[in-house]
Amino acid sequence: MQSFDQEDREAGRAKKRLFVGLVAGTGTVMLLLLVLVWAVPVVGLANIHPRAPQVFSVLMVLLALSVVWATGGLILSVIFGRSLPFFARARGMSVRLLLPLMTVFARLVGISKDRVRSSFVKVNNELVAAAARRYRPGEMLLLMPHCLQNSRCRMRLTYTIRNCKRCGECPIDALIGLSDRYGIHLAIATGGTIARRIVVQRRPRLILAVACERDLTSGIQDTYPIPVYGVLNLRPNGPCLDTRVNLDILEQAMRSFMDPSWYPAEGSAVSEVAEVTGQGKGPACGEEIVRGTGQGTGGGDRI
């Protein structure tokens, strides 16, 4: 566990370094473009009006200062791990403006989209954690992807999670246990359209979402300014098929954002959920739910 924690911290620092580097690189490219935009027409503007070049130069300087302020504020917020004065909208800048530009810049320098997205999710989580207050259970939403459901299961869970038979063959059983214990609404979405509809209907103040890098990134963008804390799913069978979720990490996130006065009774919710998942089909029930910190089918303990 200690070795994993160390690796996780190192991976987190690497993701933050990647994000900071991409933000700095994107900001530099934007500044260079502004210089070119300024330099090319200045000579011809004098023919329109004697003061036109000066006015245009002032506008370009203001835009350049805005770029420096935006990228510098975001980088400082990431480095210090908290929302700084005068940079309270750093997450909004990263979601709306810088992420699309960073993706283009990363492609030019040979960095994959998944690395950029993973880095973005990591930094977004830190900014959300730094800026968010504590919430009541009714203000929070657990939003899960349908790929967590056993691919052989015939029950439809999109419209109501209570259709689940609680057999323990997939993580849904344990997630329902966590939802019931903490009183946080749990929903499953089959895609972005369904997810947006759930958010509109529930109107949460905070979303705890589990998904892959691509879906988390698009979900964070679609639901802004609602804060989204993302937990990457585990994909031992490849993408979008019988995926898993680290229950310990998810529960820690739930508790970190919940008002302590709403905490359930003392004890580990995950361990109690494990007992619930073992009631349906004897020893084999729930054996595929990843609990702990490993990756894929070989990582972590089994419930």
From 98, 128, 158, give the residue that closes a domain: 128
Express each pLDDT in 47-102 by its tens digit. 667 787 788 788 888 888 877 877 777 777 777 766 666 666 656 666 677 777 77
Express each pLDDT in 19-35 by its tens digit. 777 777 777 887 887 77
List of residues 6+ apart from 53 with CB closer than 8 A: 42, 45, 46
Q: Could you list the residue range(s) of the whole structural domain that residue 295 is in? A: 134-302
pTM reported for the whole predicted model: 0.69
> Both 84 and 143 in a single domain?
no
> Both 182 and 196 in a single domain?
yes
Separation between Cα atoms, residue 149 and residue 144, nearest integer Å? 10
Mean pLDDT, range 276-301, rounded to an integer:
38
Q: Give me 246's structure tokens.
A: 């680290």
From 107, 128, 149, give the residue that closes a domain: 128
Domain count, the chain: 2
> Both 254 and 158 in a single domain?
yes
From 65, 94, 128, give the residue that closes a domain: 128
Q: Is the pLDDT of residue 297 over 50?
A: no
- Please choose, from the candidates 182, 184, 174, 185, the residue with its C-alpha nearest in 3D space to the C-alpha of residue 263: 182
Mean pLDDT, range 191-215, rounded to an integer:
91
- Cα 200 to chain centroid, rounded: 19
> Both 286 and 173 in a single domain?
yes
- Please choose, from the candidates 149, 121, 144, 108, the residue with its C-alpha nearest in 3D space to the C-alpha of residue 25: 108
> Both 294 and 180 in a single domain?
yes
> Both 17 and 99 in a single domain?
yes
Strands (E), 30-184: 140-145
How far are the Cα atoms of 85, 185, 232, 258 from residue 212, in angstroms, in the given order? Answer: 32, 21, 5, 24
> Both 122 and 145 in a single domain?
no
> Both 117 and 242 in a single domain?
no
> Both 90 and 155 in a single domain?
no
Separation between Cα atoms, residue 51 and residue 57, nearest integer Å? 10
